[in-house]
Amino acid sequence: MTETDHDALKEKLDDFSRRLDDQVRHMKERGLFSEPHQRLVADMTERRDQINKKLASAEAKGGLLSVIRSETERDFGSLFDDLLQLNERLDADQMKSDAGAGQ
Please tell me the chain's helix, strand, coil percentages from 3-state DSSP, rounded to the nearest 5: 85, 0, 15
**Per-residue pLDDT tens over the stretch 8-62:** 888 888 998 999 999 999 989 988 888 988 999 999 999 999 888 887 777 777 6
* The pLDDT of residue 80: 86
Q: What is the DSSP letter of 44?
A: H
H or E element that contains 49: helix 35-61
> Total domain count for the chain?
1
CA angle 36/18/84 to nearest 5° reads 45
Domain holding 97, by residue range, is 3-101
83-102 average pLDDT score: 83
Q: Are the CB atoms for 48 and 17 separated by under 8 Å?
A: yes
Q: Report pTM.
A: 0.70
Instruction: Identify which of 19, 9, 16 has the alpha carbon closest to the alpha carbon of residue 72.
Output: 9
